[in-house]
Amino acid sequence: MIEILSGVLSGGLFGRNVPTLVNYGQDPLISSGFYVAIDVQRFQPLEDFRSRVDSLVDMVRATEPIDASQPVMVAGDKELACRENRLEQGIPLSPQVAEELDGLLDRFELNQVARLRSGS
């Protein structure tokens, strides 16, 4: 159904016409989309819907994983884990980016501010 709405109906590519992502980032990305807004409360009370979605998420996460070291996740789990890690550990920078930022700190005389923020 999603492919019919986002590919066929929208006039975009669908099925085998969609290029593989083997060269992702090198080839132009051809995409199309379909957007829909649903008033959940026309079907059921919002709190009931939220509770049912929570139950579905719990069921999915409780599924036995193929690889015991990789738990079954739902949409957003990886991003939430990454956010929590970034808040705790900071955003990793390549040496080149760190060097460029250090240069900007010097250029705009912000070294004192950076030291205060880093606690040094």
Residue 24 DSSP one-character state: B
| Domain regions of the chain by residue span | 1-36, 44-89, 93-120
Q: Is the pTM of this model over 0.75?
A: no
Q: List helix spans (H) across the chain.
A: 2-3, 46-61, 77-89, 95-107, 111-118
What does pLDDT average to over the chain? 88
pLDDT digits (tens, 9 = 90+) for 17-65: 888 777 777 777 777 889 999 999 999 999 999 999 999 999 999 999 9
